[in-house]
Structure 1
């Protein structure tokens, strides 16, 4: 059974929250961010204000996935993570 958009949002927020509080993460989390954002972008039930921030989150996941120093990438995006968490709530 596929996850509905509410579950996808919860997972996305959990990953971003963990990156924000732990200042570290994994490549697989970045890949999961990309998959979640792609799915949410095409979902008609997702509010437009949320869709407006999703491309930035996607870029964060994609850049993180290819980063040689993922923890530094996450650390350098602390302000954006805080902003995104507020916008997704």
Structure 2
């Protein structure tokens, strides 16, 4: 059974919040973020205003997966992480 849109958004925000607060994460978390964004982008009932945020989050996850220094990548993205979560909260 697929996860509902709201549950996917909650999970995505939870991972991004953890990255923002802990300044660390794992490649598997970045891969999960990538999968969540791909799934969300296919949802018919996704608000169009969320798509630009999700595209930025997708690029963040791609960079994290390819990074040799993931925790530095996360730390350098702290402000964006906070902005993305706040934007998703306002739009959902």
> Same fold by TM-score, threshold 0.5 exceeded?
yes
Runs of 4 or more above 3 Å deviation: none
CA RMSD between the two structures: 0.6
State the TM-score, normalized to the length of structure 2. Answer: 0.94
Secondary structure in structure 1 of the residue aligned to 2:46: coil
Unaligned runs of at least 5 residues, structure 1: none
Q: Counterparts of 1:38-77 in structure 2 under 5 Å?
A: 38-77=38-77
Tell me the distance in 2 between the aligned counterparts of 1:2 and 1:48: 21
Tell me the distance in 2 between the aligned counterparts of 1:19 and 1:5: 21
Q: Counterparts of 1:14-53 in structure 2 under 5 Å?
A: 14-53=14-53
Unaligned runs of at least 5 residues, structure 2: none
